[in-house]
A and B are shown apart, each in its own frame.
Chain A
């Protein structure tokens, strides 16, 4: 298949060999599981259980609420020990409401919904409902509720379902292993999603540094004419959906638009496999494969862990730390976030837990920019990081916005390549946060201004009406001024009450 050129990109040291040849191993049930109500983009799920209650494996314990949300399920049978505030797997480490389950060791399934016998004949709405019920979210890192994304098929004409198996982040091999070990399930899930979306074509994009995954998937796809498996160059950030879509279809998603508007929707391989399990077996999303790796981990592994596993338990299962890690990263080393605590749980979007040594991180104090232009050459978004960072350094956020900082996807390529070791992503995240704040402030001011103007008009109208009424009733000029004043005062009081 002919591929299309993409802009920029880097060749980081992939370091996937630490786990790429290690088959997925299941984690023995940990002593406690911590299920946060929010593991996805959107509103947190609504609590359905209370402390002391017994639950079965796969039982819904929190229900999605609102349009964008996802339900949570018990990963095993046991007792709800507590509903508590537990540190979230987020750089802030702020606590969030979490259901703590004490497994009973029986691992008994709840009554699961019936498998959908023939998903290719079923009403798409039935499958969407099933995916929503299974609490599936994007498992590649976006953690967007999958069922909501499935609705895109009703709004846009989708020509291609892209299964994203690029896995361009160094170290992380969970998608690679899933594709090698469960290729049939991935292909089946992809075909189901394509059918719901009304997409006639399925393309699986895999970076060429995973030849076994490409082989396995090609074999699994051989029986289906509409499925094509494509090897794409190993060029970070190929797994960024817009980039992969451009490479495979040649379509460039306009700024600020969805990929669906160019007729393509991308799903991660683990996500479509979860769809397969929900549709074919009625199983909700209660576990995922996590790559535990990095130079400080004694035995790097690909672990099938129940959602809610404490990261400390996961690390212990991998032999603990061989040396003191410099940073613990949630996700890949390029776009992952620092984990402030090992007490946080594995959630649906946790693809990797990396314990990295100082040598691996290779961090140095930043020195002044020497304008080498490497960042401009490699930026996959076509931005000029050197110029944006100059604006951010001066706290000139409008200038940074004009230079396109909001188009930055924080892929980290510029910071990776910078010889001065300037933390460019850090600069840009800061600018984005400030710009969002400014935008909120601007909207608020605008709203206040509109309300204030409306109020003045309203007051004037009320005063006018009273004046007119007064004039009609008692056309004596000497009464008007005092009456006018008191009525305006009344109107003001009314306004205050209304406000």
Chain B
């Protein structure tokens, strides 16, 4: 007996949703932060963004063709566009073109199609690419630049932008440290965190770092799409309202990172940055709302998602605080991706009429 030999079962109605719809909504939610960041970092960022997305779609098409799968039908689920988009958002804005292309191959061919294509990958493709690039090319992947808004006097022209993105000729004068990187470097030079944090204030005479409000709005150095906490939050709220994601992973991740930061900052403010600083810097919000919530690589049950989110938050804090890297979101998410099958196994819901071990409920004695 084959499955096709029994007549089609119901239901004869369906929710008005589809994979395509879901992916499209996520792309839509990314638009505010992306547009702002493309404006902030100018033409080189626009070029890199375009190259990365196109490369991802091209690699996806090639992999599908090699695997004899329907190319156009599968491409139209927008999943490759989304992977490319998220990968571009996690690259330094003025990084050379080949980071986008190599990243696309790592993300789509290695992290996704080698595992069997959409829905089969264990690790988040964009984060696999980002981490592989970071480990392989640490200098290129941490070459942050100060904001150079389009149409401003500082902004590079199209020709210079082509030279930056295609030729890798980034002028030395524009380089900047990310907030997390700055604090970490200063600490390694013996300057307490509490002192270096004073730089993030308008009152500081020495200031060359954005103040806390600028940090939140995103007027700062950082990856191509991660800088604006506020705009990413707007996209995240859209996803929550459209029920594409639930609150469990973002809140658990942000909450645990905040709690770890605040707790240790209270114990020793000289060594540990405060919780709020942890939450509004780096890729925290992008990670919490758009990367850790990736369906394929996160647990399916709500309980599992809470555990997953807490794991992401705590690991992010641990890596930022004790590891060599100033930023830890990508590593944290990948580590928790690896735990997802186990989390799923231990957080299955209780079946109706059964206890958590799967045995039928015992009848209570009648009164």
Indicate which residue in B1, B10, B120, B358 contacts A425 across the interface (CB closer than 8 Å): B10
Q: What is the bound-complex CA distance between A419 and B77, given in angstroms?
A: 11
Partner of A377, one of B10, B118, B302, B348: B302
For A380, list chain B residues within 8 Å (CB).
Answer: 352
Cβ of B171 < 8 Å from any Cβ of A?
no
Q: Does the CB pair B14–A421 fall under 8 Å?
A: yes
Do residues B349 and A382 form an inter-chain contact, with CB atoms below 8 A?
yes
Judge if A407 is at the interface, Cβ distance under 8 Å. Answer: yes
- Which residues of B approach A to under 8 Å, CB–CB? 1, 3, 6-19, 21-22, 77, 79, 117-120, 246, 295-302, 305, 344, 348-354, 358, 360-363, 366
Interface set, chain A 82-98, CB cutoff 8 A to B: 91-92
29 contacts between A and B (CB under 8 A): A12-B15, A13-B13, A157-B366, A253-B353, A254-B353, A254-B362, A255-B352, A334-B12, A336-B10, A336-B12, A361-B14, A362-B13, A362-B14, A363-B14, A364-B14, A371-B300, A376-B349, A377-B301, A382-B349, A383-B351, A386-B300, A387-B348, A415-B10, A416-B13, A416-B14, A417-B15, A417-B17, A425-B11, A433-B1
Whether B351 lies near A370 (C-beta < 8 A) is no
The answer to whether B363 touches A257 (Cβ under 8 A) is: yes
A218 to chain B, nearest CB (A): 29
On whether the beta carbons of A242 and B353 are closer than 8 Å, the reply is: yes
Residue contact A427 to B119, C-beta cutoff 8 Å: no
Can you add 4 more A-B contacts, CB < 8 Å, to A371-B297, A377-B246? Answer: A336-B10, A370-B79, A412-B9, A419-B19
List of A residues within 8 angstroms of B246 by Cβ = 377
Residue from the list B6, B12, B19, B302 in contact with A354, Cβ < 8 A: B12
- Does A7 belong to the interface (CB within 8 Å)? yes
Which residues of chain A (376-403) have a CB below 8 Å from chain B? 376-377, 379-384, 386-387
- Interface members, chain A 48-100 (any B CB < 8 Å): 91-92
- A333 near B: Cβ within 8 Å? yes
If A372-B295, A382-B352 touch, whether A412 touches B300 (CB-CB below 8 Å) is no
The distance in angstroms between the C-alpha atoms of A157 and B365, with both chains bound, is 12
Contact call A361/B13, Cβ cutoff below 8 A = yes
Q: Taking the nearest CB of chain B, how far is it from the CB of A275, in angstroms? A: 26
- Do A384 and B301 touch across chains, with their CB atoms under 8 A apart? yes
The total number of A-B Cβ pairs within 8 Å is 177
**Chain B neighbourhood of A434, CB < 8 A:** 1
Residues of B within 8 A of A372 (CB): 22, 295, 300
A254 touches B119 (CB 8 A): no
- Across-interface contacts of A369 in B (CB, < 8 A): 119
- Does A327 belong to the interface (CB within 8 Å)? yes
Cβ-based interface call for A423 (8 A): yes
Q: Quick check: is A464 within 8 A (CB to CB) of the other chain?
A: no
Q: B13 touches which one: A242, A360, A377 (CB < 8 A)? A: A360
Contact B12 A430 (CB under 8 A): no
- Give Cα distance in the complex from A354 to B187, angstroms: 71
Q: How many angstroms from the CA of A387 to the CA of B341 in the assembled complex? A: 11
Q: Are A255 and B351 in contact (CB under 8 A)?
A: yes
Are A373 and B301 in contact (CB-based, < 8 A)?
yes
Contact, CB under 8 Å: B362 / A430: no
Residues of A contacting B366 with CB < 8 Å?
Answer: 157, 263
- Nearest A-chain residue to B305, judged by Cβ: A373
Q: Output the nearest chain B residue to A412 by Cβ-Cβ distance.
A: B11
Tell me whether A329 and B12 are in contact in the complex, defined as CB-CB below 8 angstroms, given that A370-B118, A382-B350, A407-B351 are known contacts: yes
A407 vs B297: C-alpha distance when bound (angstroms): 27
Does any Cβ of B come within 8 Å of A487's Cβ?
no
**Alpha-carbon separation in the docked complex, A437 to B351 (Å):** 24
Q: What is the distance, in angstroms, from B46's C-beta to the closest C-beta of chain A? A: 30
- Contact status A373-B300, CB under 8 Å: yes
Q: A333-B11, A425-B11 are in contact. Are A382 and B351 (CB under 8 A)?
A: yes
List the A side residues contacting B353 at CB < 8 Å: 242, 252-257, 407
In the complex, how many angstroms separate the beta carbon of B174 from the nearest chain A beta carbon? 40
Which one of B12, B16, B360 lies within 8 Å of A255 (CB-CB)? B360
> A419 to chain B: which residues have CB within 8 Å?
17-19, 21-22
Main secondary structure of the interface of B (DSSP, over half): loop
Whether A371 contacts B7 by the Cβ 8 Å rule is: no
Residue from B117, B120, B298, B300 whose CB has the most chain A CB atoms within 10 Å: B300
Chain B positions within 8 Å of A170 at CB level:
13
Is there contact, CB below 8 Å, between B301 and A376?
A: yes
A-side contacts of B360, CB under 8 Å: 254-257
Most-contacted residue by chain A among B13, B16, B305, B349 (CB, 10 A): B13
Nearest 3 CB-CB pairs, A to B?
Answer: A373-B300, A412-B11, A255-B353
Task: Tell me the interface secondary structure of chain A in the complex.
Answer: loop
A484 proximal to B (CB < 8 A): no
Q: Which residues of B contact A262 (CB under 8 A)?
A: 363
A residues sitting closer than 8 Å to B (CB atoms) are 7, 10, 12-13, 91-92, 157, 170, 242, 252-257, 261-263, 327, 329, 333-338, 340, 354, 356, 360-364, 367-373, 376-377, 379-384, 386-387, 404, 407, 410, 412, 415-417, 419-421, 423, 425-427, 429-430, 433-434, 437
Q: Shortest beta-carbon distance, B305 to chain A, in Å?
A: 8
Is there an interface contact between B349 and A384, defined as CB atoms closer than 8 Å? yes
Q: How far in angstroms is the closest Cβ of chain A from B241?
A: 16
Is there an interface contact between B9 and A252, defined as CB atoms closer than 8 Å?
Answer: no
Q: How far is the CA of A256 from the CA of B354 in the complex (A)?
A: 10
Once the chains are docked, how many angstroms separate the CA of A194 from the CA of B282? 66
B9 lies within 8 A of A423 (CB)? yes
Across-interface contacts of B299 in A (CB, < 8 A): 373
Q: Which residues of the partner chain A approach B8 to less than 8 Å between Cβ atoms?
A: 338, 423, 426
A255 touches B361 (CB 8 A): yes
| Interchain CB contact under 8 A, B363 and A261 | yes
A residues less than 8 Å from B351 (CB atoms): 255, 381-383, 404, 407
Q: Once the chains bind, are A368 and B13 in contact (CB under 8 Å)?
A: no
* Docked-complex contact B354 and A255, CB < 8 angstroms: yes
Contacts of B15 in A (CB 8 A): 10, 12, 416-417
Note all chain A residues with C-beta closer than 8 A to B79.
Answer: 370
Please measure, in the bound complex, the distance between the C-alpha atom of A255 and the C-alpha atom of B355, giving whole angstroms: 10
Bound Cα distance from A7 to B348, whole angstroms: 14
Q: Which of A12, A254, A333 contacts B361 (CB 8 A)?
A: A254
Report A317 CB to chain B, min CB distance, Å.
Answer: 22
Contact at B77–A384, with CB atoms within 8 Å? no
Q: Which residue on chain B has the smallest CB distance to residue A12?
A: B13
Expressed in whole angstroms, the Cα–Cα distance for A128 and B7 within the complex equals 38
Given A370-B118, A373-B295, A429-B9: A7 and B14 interface contact (C-beta under 8 Å): no
Residue of B nearest to A386 (CB): B300
Q: How far is the CA of A423 from the CA of B7 in the complex (A)?
A: 12
Residues of A within 8 A of B348 (CB): 384, 387
A427 near B10 (CB under 8 angstroms)?
A: no
Are B295 and A371 in contact (CB-based, < 8 A)? yes
CB-based contact A371/B363 at 8 Å: no
Smallest CB-CB separation from B117: which chain A residue?
A368
By a CB distance below 8 angstroms, the chain B residues around A427 are 3
What B residues does A253 contact at CB under 8 A?
Answer: 353
Q: Are A404 and B10 in contact (CB under 8 A)?
A: no
**Which residues of chain B have C-beta atoms less than 8 A from A384's C-beta?**
300-301, 344, 348-349
B337 to chain A, nearest CB (A): 12
Select B296's contact among A255, A371, A376, A426, beta carbons within 8 Å: A371
Taking CB atoms, residues of chain A closer than 8 Å to B22 are: 370, 372, 419
Which one, B120, B301, B344, B352, contacts A252 given CB within 8 A?
A: B352
State in angstroms the CA–CA spacing of A421 and B19 once bound together: 9
* CB-defined contacts of A13 to chain B, threshold 8 Å: 13
Q: How far is the CB of A50 from chain B (nearest CB, A)?
A: 34
- Whether A7 lies near B352 (C-beta < 8 A) is yes
